[in-house]
């Protein structure tokens, strides 16, 4: 029998998460690039319930806003001040009844938690299938764990059927020895659930309405209660504190990295490679040690990233390489190279076979195919054509203290080393600028712009002004040892020649 579409899925996220000791609600803490709640919603969404309900209370506005951001159709249900998972589900169902109108809910209702990030959609689909094939009133995901402390324990009757769940705090020593735990993830028959919740009390160690009581009540009402035991205990692991946050985050990452390796990505050091859920990689990508691929980063076939590189929301083209750099919101073309030690900020676009070398910062800069910014430069608010070369230590001076301005550099232009390009300014196609120039005016195509002080040599200055110094002695040796000075070439000619050499360098 094929399982049907669940009538509803409820994600419980009302708890306070005190042990996080955080100003941020627990379910908004993130692993693998998205919140615990977003992970929970993604798993639930994939089994396609007719209604998705998120139960909130603690920091309700922030949690509700985040839930709706992830899942626009989600029904947000407020839990009142009656505590417990049973009450949370009851409030969820009441909110759903209000949105749906009078017709009673029919079919399967899934209940999951907002703080269980490793739960997969496949496990939920298996749960629904097992529940519906068995025709059960309740099916609960259980697992055998080495240390069951704190969890509800699964009670079984003489025939091995699930008789109920006892909370750790209510359990006697014999029950506490049981290692099969309640994950807190369930499939319920909707009618059974609604009916049983109406009879759940608060007579227990915590004075809460326990959802777990529904299992006993369902059985008493003549339904069958089944356990869907899973071996992968991680999928049931909730996050209660920051130690568990790190543990589950590391495990989720380990799983993601392993998936990418199986899909054809070489990961040299899985332990130092972090890949967010939203990142995508193609085959024959190589990730060297110490790489973080964050957000919606994509890396195309044959590209190499790392070592020690962080990319957030970047697009790395086929065969490109990024070495020891940090980039956010950058797009790198096929065969482009970046690094080592560069910082690419949002709006950086590097064309095919382009190069951003070492110690370069870029922002809002479109750099054409084959163009190079090899060393020690800042390129902000710029558009650089194809095949251009930006000399070492060039600064695109984009900010006048009030406004940002753009610089345009044409195709095959060559900006001399240590140039300041004071925006707004345009360097024409094929134009050159002399090293050390401060360019404040547009440079026509094909021109050479020289904008720097002329050199003056004060002959003999060191021997006169620094007598007895090592420099003076060296100068003296040079003077005495040198025969007659040859005449220097005409200054203008020499300068032109220097510029030519610099631009060619
Ligand atoms: C619950 C189960 C326990 C199970 C454990 C698995 C009950 C009574 N106990 O334990 O058998 O082993 O989960 O992790 O159900 N929540 C609400 N409203 C509340 C209380 C909790 O929405 O009033 C939400 C929390 O935000 C959280 C989830 O329910 O997402 C579980 O709450 P938590 O307090 O961690 O579970 P326990 O009651 O300790
Ligand atoms: Ca818990």
d(C-alpha 61, C-alpha 180), whole Å: 36
- Predicted model pTM: 0.91
Known active-site residue 375: yes
Residues 331/315, Cβ–Cβ less than 8 Å: yes
pLDDT of 500 reads: 52
**Statement: residue 491 has pLDDT above 90:** no
Residue 162 neighbours by CB under 8 Å, 6+ apart: 140, 154, 155, 156, 215, 219, 225, 226, 227
Residues 27/115, Cβ–Cβ less than 8 Å: yes
Ligand lying nearest the CA atom of residue 113: 1
pLDDT of 16 reads: 87
pLDDT of 495 reads: 52
pLDDT of 429 reads: 98
pLDDT-based confidence at 64, cuts 50/70/90? Answer: very high
pLDDT of 505 reads: 45
Is residue 129 packed enough to be buried (19+ CB in 10 Å), middle (13-18) or exposed (0-12)? middle
Mean pLDDT (whole number) for 448-474: 97
From the CB of 186, is ligand 1 less than 6 Å away? Answer: no
pLDDT of 483 reads: 53
**Statement: residue 503 has pLDDT above 50:** no
**Statement: residue 76 has pLDDT above 90:** yes
From the CB of 53, is ligand 1 less than 6 Å away? Answer: no
Catalytic residue among 39, 375, 405, 412: 375
Residues 9-44: tens digit of each pLDDT: 999 999 989 999 999 999 999 999 999 999 999 999
From the CB of 115, is ligand 1 less than 6 Å away? Answer: yes
Ligand lying nearest the CA atom of residue 166: 1
Number of other residues whose CB lies within 10 A of the CB of residue 336 = 28
Residues 21/122, Cβ–Cβ less than 8 Å: no
Could you tell me where the DSSP H helices lie in 101-170?
121-134
- By residue count, the chain amounts to 505
pLDDT of 100 reads: 87
**Statement: residue 348 has pLDDT above 60:** yes
Q: Which two tokens stand for residue 329?
A: 């919101």
pLDDT-based confidence at 496, cuts 50/70/90? Answer: low
Is residue 15 packed enough to be buried (19+ CB in 10 Å), middle (13-18) or exposed (0-12)? buried
From the CB of 12, is ligand 1 less than 6 Å away? Answer: yes
Residues 45/88, Cβ–Cβ less than 8 Å: no
Question: Helix, strand or coil for residue 284?
Answer: coil
**Statement: residue 494 has pLDDT above 90:** no
Long-range contacts of 156-164 (CB under 8 A, 24+ apart): 156/180, 161/224, 161/225, 161/226, 162/215, 162/219, 162/225, 162/226, 162/227, 163/216, 163/219, 163/225, 164/212, 164/213, 164/215, 164/216, 164/219, 164/225
Cis peptide before 424 (omega within 30 of 0): yes
The alpha carbon of 172 is separated from its chain's Cα centroid by a whole number of angstroms, namely 45
Residues 210/85, Cβ–Cβ less than 8 Å: yes
Quick one: DSSP state of residue 347? T
Mean pLDDT (whole number) for 199-224: 97
Say how many Å lie between the first and final Cα of the chain, rounded.
74
Residues 54/74, Cβ–Cβ less than 8 Å: yes
Residue from 113, 155, 169 to probe ligand 1 pocket by mutation (most atoms less than 8 Å from CB) = 113
pLDDT of 95 reads: 97
**Statement: residue 482 has pLDDT above 90:** no
User: How many angstroms separate the alpha carbon of residue 81 from the centre of ligand 2?
Assistant: 19
pLDDT of 87 reads: 98
Is residue 112 packed enough to be buried (19+ CB in 10 Å), middle (13-18) or exposed (0-12)? buried
Return mean pLDDT, the chain: 95
Residues 374-403: tens digit of each pLDDT: 999 999 999 999 999 999 999 999 999 999
- The tally of CA atoms less than 13 A away on the side-chain side of residue 450 is 12
**Statement: residue 111 has pLDDT above 60:** yes
Give the sign of the dihedral formed by CA 459, CA 462, CA 463, CA 465: positive
Residues 35/29, Cβ–Cβ less than 8 Å: yes
Mean pLDDT (whole number) for 130-158: 97
Q: C-alpha dihedral over 431, 435, 440, 442, to 10 degrees?
A: 0
User: How many angstroms separate the alpha carbon of residue 32 from the centre of ligand 1?
Assistant: 23
CA-nearest residue for atom 25, ligand 1, is: 15
Residues 180/217, Cβ–Cβ less than 8 Å: no
Q: How far is CA 403 from CA 88, 398, 425, in A?
A: 53, 8, 14
């Amino acid at each position: 029998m094929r399982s049907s579409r669940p009538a509803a899925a409820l994600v419980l996220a009302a708890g306070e998460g005190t042990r996080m000791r955080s100003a941020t609600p627990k379910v908004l803490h993130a692993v693998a690039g998205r919140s615990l709640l977003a992970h929970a919603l993604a798993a639930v969404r994939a089994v396609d319930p007719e209604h998705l309900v998120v139960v909130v209370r603690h920091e309700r506005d922030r949690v509700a806003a985040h839930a709706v951001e992830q899942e626009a159709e989600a029904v947000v249900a407020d839990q009142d001040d009656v505590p417990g998972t049973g009450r949370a589900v009851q409030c969820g169902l009441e909110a759903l009844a209000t949105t749906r109108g009078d017709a009673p809910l029919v079919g399967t209702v899934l209940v999951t938690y907002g703080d269980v990030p490793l739960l997969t959609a496949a496990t939920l689909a298996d749960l629904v299938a097992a529940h519906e094939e068995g025709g059960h009133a309740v099916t609960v995901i259980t697992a055998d764990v080495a240390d069951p402390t704190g969890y509800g324990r699964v009670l079984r009757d003489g025939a091995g059927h699930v008789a109920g769940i006892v909370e750790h705090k209510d359990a006697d020593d014999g029950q506490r020895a049981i290692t099969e735990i309640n994950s807190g993830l369930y499939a319920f028959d909707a009618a059974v659930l609604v009916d049983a919740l109406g009879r759940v009390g608060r007579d227990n160690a915590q004075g809460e309405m326990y959802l777990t009581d529904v299992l006993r009540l369902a059985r008493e009402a003549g339904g069958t209660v089944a356990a869907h035991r899973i071996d992968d205990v991680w999928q049931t692991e909730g996050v209660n504190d920051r130690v568990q946050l790190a543990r589950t985050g590391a495990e989720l990452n380990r799983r993601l990295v392993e998936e990418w390796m199986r899909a054809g990505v070489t990961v040299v050091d899985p332990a130092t490679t972090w890949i967010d859920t939203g990142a995508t990689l193609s085959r024959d990508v190589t990730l060297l040690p110490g790489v973080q691929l964050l957000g919606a980063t994509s890396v195309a076939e044959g590209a190499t990233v790392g070592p020690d590189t962080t990319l957030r929301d970047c697009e790395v083209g086929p065969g490109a390489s990024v070495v020891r750099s940090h980039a956010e919101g950058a797009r790198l073309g096929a065969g482009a190279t970046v690094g080592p030690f560069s910082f690419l900020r949002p709006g950086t676009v590097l064309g095919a076979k382009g190069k951003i070398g070492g110690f370069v910062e870029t922002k809002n800069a479109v750099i054409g195919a084959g163009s190079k910014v090899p060393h020690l430069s800042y390129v902000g608010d710029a558009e650089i054509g194809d095949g251009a070369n930006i000399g070492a230590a060039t600064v695109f001076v984009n900010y006048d203290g009030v406004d940002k301005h753009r610089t345009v550099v044409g195709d095959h232009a060559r900006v001399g080393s240590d140039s300041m390009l004071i925006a707004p300014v345009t360097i024409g196609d094929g134009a050159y600028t002399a090293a050390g120039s401060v360019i404040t005016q547009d440079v026509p195509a094909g021109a050479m712009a020289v904008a720097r002080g002329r050199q003056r040599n004060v002959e003999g200055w060191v021997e006169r002004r620094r007598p007895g110094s090592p420099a003076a002695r060296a100068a003296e040796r040079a003077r005495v040892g040198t025969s007659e000075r040859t005449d220097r070439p005409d200054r203008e000619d020499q300068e032109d020649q220097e510029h030519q050499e610099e631009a060619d360098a």
